[in-house]
């Protein structure tokens, strides 16, 4: 859906761009501009896997044992009583595949069930739910509380037919990071309602200074949680297509779901064998200082863009807390975010995603993973566009007031 929107925006045949180069702030691909560089240790691990000659055949459909062991070790936290076994892990072709498998396994197609999705939220959730044929119920995120979950609304939307709730943290598209307290509040409602949680944690670790957010499965031991993640974002390799799902189910309430997931894994005969072979080295050897360097770049970019946007009339943004995205309120320029995005591309050659895509009209989503000079050029163009648009609106309003004044004035005849 996102790529369709981008193609529609950029297919416009009208342009007042004056030869400007296109700036894309739309897709969540950290490799777009080449300024964020993959760890040499991760690249070397894949090269070693290729040269070893042992990664050329099919792997088990649920994943290589060594790779599953590495993921299980990553999610195990003895201090919190969290113990993940390799059998709790299924490797997938990216995090999106893990989401598809998890939703499919949890939903009974003949059960007239519903699934709770965040609004704003990543549109893939809706696409998967629609494909499975489950009723979609969207719970609101509160922009006045850093896009936290509206807990009362969440509770009221659940019933005996609710198959699962999807929690995305850190958030795409909001750029928010949930505290441990807030995650525990969500888990408490889920436990009370006996509804399992799908925790989309692909941006795990993308928390800016002073913020931290634990993995959902480390908090809600009594609540069944299926965590989905992967290496695409943290390790800057979305093209390597390796993700996973991790089943946290101390009471074995998801026994049938686990069996369904294992069957679903056979549909693609397992993900990339080469990257699976390299995964233990990637998770063990790619050091934290490298990732903190990437995170520092993103946080600096986020602050730079946020401060710059504050100077632009008609728009409003909240400082991102994590991930690589932020939502920008453009209603002061144009309440129709689709028109805003289309006009912005036509006039300034900037690609942003309309908030309507994420269920939040009047906003646009931008990514701040581009180089600083690209982001600053984009902000300059955005300011030029917004100032021109607001000036035009003011002029139109003054003209309308003038016309109304003329019509309401008494007519006089010349002497």
Q: What is the pLDDT of residues 33-76, one digit of tens each?
A: 999 999 999 999 999 999 999 999 999 999 999 999 999 999 99
pTM of the model: 0.91
Query: What is the model's pLDDT at position 413?
Result: 36
Distances (CA, A) of 389 to 11, 107, 335, 339: 22, 47, 12, 12
Distances (CA, A) of 391 to 4, 336, 386: 32, 17, 8
Residue 15 pLDDT exceeds 60: no
Residue 414 pLDDT exceeds 90: no
DSSP sequence for 155-207: HHH--TTEEEEEEESS-TTT-----HHHHHHHHHHHHHHT--EEEE-TTTT-B
Q: How confident is the model at residue 162 (pLDDT cuts 50, 70, 90)?
A: very high
Among the listed ranges 9-18, 115-124, 142-151, 320-329, which one has the minimum average pLDDT value? Answer: 9-18
Residue 183 pLDDT exceeds 80: yes
Average pLDDT for the chain: 92
Three-state secondary structure call for residue 42: helix
Query: What is the model's pLDDT at position 111?
Result: 77
Distances (CA, A) of 155 to 89, 117, 138, 177, 357: 29, 13, 12, 21, 25
Contacts of 305 (CB under 8 A, 6+ apart): 317, 326, 366, 368, 375, 379
Residue 213 has, within 13 A of its CA and on its CB side, a CA count of 27
The tokens of 149 are what? 């979950």
Residue 14 pLDDT exceeds 70: no
Query: What is the model's pLDDT at position 110?
Result: 79
Q: What is the pLDDT of residues 359-399, one digit of tens each?
A: 999 999 999 999 999 999 999 999 999 999 865 554 444 44
Q: What is the pLDDT of residues 256-295, one digit of tens each?
A: 999 999 999 999 989 999 999 999 999 999 999 999 999 9
CB atoms inside a 10 Å sphere around CB 61: 17
Cα separation, 201 vs 120, in Å, equals 16
């Amino acid at each position: 859906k996102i790529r369709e929107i981008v193609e529609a925006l950029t297919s416009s045949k009208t342009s007042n761009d004056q030869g400007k180069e296109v700036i894309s702030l739309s897709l969540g691909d950290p490799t777009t501009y080449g300024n964020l560089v993959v760890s040499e240790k991760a690249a070397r691990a894949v090269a070693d896997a290729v040269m070893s000659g042992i990664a050329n055949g099919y792997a088990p459909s649920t994943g290589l044992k060594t790779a599953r062991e590495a993921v299980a070790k990553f999610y195990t936290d003895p201090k919190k009583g969290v113990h993940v076994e390799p059998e709790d892990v299924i490797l997938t072709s990216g995090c999106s595949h893990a989401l598809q498998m998890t939703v499919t396994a949890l939903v009974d197609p003949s059960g007239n069930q519903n699934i709770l999705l965040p609004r704003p939220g990543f549109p893939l959730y809706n696409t998967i739910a629609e494909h499975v044929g489950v009723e979609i119920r969207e719970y609101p995120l509160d922009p006045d509380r850093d896009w936290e979950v509206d807990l009362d609304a969440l509770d009221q939307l659940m019933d005996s037919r609710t198959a699962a709730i999807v929690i995305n943290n850190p958030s795409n598209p909001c750029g928010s990071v949930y505290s441990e307290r807030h995650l525990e509040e969500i888990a408490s409602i889920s436990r009370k309602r006996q509804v399992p949680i799908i925790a989309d944690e692909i941006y795990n670790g993308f928390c800016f200074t002073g913020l931290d957010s634990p993995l959902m499965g480390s908090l809600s031991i009594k609540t069944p949680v299926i965590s989905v993640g992967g290496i695409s974002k943290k390790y800057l390799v979305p093209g390597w297509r390796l993700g996973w799902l991790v089943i946290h189910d101390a009471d074995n309430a998801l026994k049938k779901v686990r069996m369904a997931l294992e069957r679903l894994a056979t549909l693609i005969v397992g993900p990339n064998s080469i990257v699976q072979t390299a995964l233990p080295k990637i998770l063990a050897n790619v050091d934290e200082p490298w990732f903190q360097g990437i995170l520092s770049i993103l946080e600096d970019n986020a602050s730079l863009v946020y401060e710059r946007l504050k100077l632009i009339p008609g728009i409003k943004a909240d400082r991102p807390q994590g991930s690589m995205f932020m939502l920008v309120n453009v209603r002061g320029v144009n309440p129709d975010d689709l028109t805003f995005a289309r006009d912005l591309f036509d006039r300034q050659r900037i690609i942003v995603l309309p908030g309507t895509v994420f269920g939040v009209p009047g906003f646009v989503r931008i990514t701040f993973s581009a180089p600083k000079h690209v982001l600053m050029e984009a902000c300059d163009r955005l300011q030029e566009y917004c100032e021109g648009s607001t000036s035009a609106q003011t002029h139109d309003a003054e003209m309308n007031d003038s016309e109304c004044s003329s019509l309401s004035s008494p007519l006089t005849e010349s002497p």
